[in-house]
Amino acid sequence: MGKQIWKPGNMLYPVPAVLVTVADGQGRPNIFTVAWTGTVCSSPPMVSVSVRPERYSHHMIEETGEFVINLTNRSLVFAVDYCGVKSGRQTDKIKDMNLTLLPTKEVKAPLLKESPVNLECRVKQTLRLGTHDMYLAEVVAVHAEEAYMDKKGRFLLDKSHPIAYSHGSYFALGEKLGTFGYSVKKRS
């Protein structure tokens, strides 16, 4: 069996499917799904999100330079899909999905209470790339749900049942296959 050669395309899967919360200059909130997001730097902590300019929330990020990345889990998968296919121009997705917004510490965009982790972000650079604008942003605050903390104060994201998106489908994550450095760890 060989490999087929395809035209160039984005086949880097799976990816996180996150809910991004924003607010416009007047404080009106919106929420939308982003699958093109990732870590870009650890010090300072920076992330990226790529957003099509025609998306309703695009102008909100442009106006304020702020957003919150809300990690998602199994209990949010329906909202993740809904907030990715519906537009805030036509409906209040927060109300439709019965989601709860809470104030943040450093930015004006709200955070999603139902999310296990919320990353408050401030845009440092915008790259106009073609179909998408990539926002490189510094993480200025992190909120972690206490329900996923163990007795030693460690955060156990796997206990929240995180999800991923892969080529049109959502998947549950969960089986731990190893830990960082286990391949070179000395065996007893």
Q: What angle (nearest 5°) sits at the alpha carbon of residue 72, between those of residues 147 and 54?
A: 150
* Lookup: tokens for 95: 């109300």
Q: What predicted TM-score, i.e. pTM, was given to this entire model?
A: 0.94
Distance CA 111, CA 116 (A): 11
Q: What is the pLDDT of residues 17-41, one digit of tens each?
A: 999 999 999 999 999 999 999 999 9
Distance (Å, whole) CA 108 – CA 94? 17
Of 163, 182, 179, the residue nearest 171 (C-alpha) = 163
Q: What is the pLDDT of residues 127-170, one digit of tens each?
A: 999 999 999 999 999 999 999 999 999 999 999 999 999 989 99
Would you say residue 188 has pLDDT above 80?
A: no
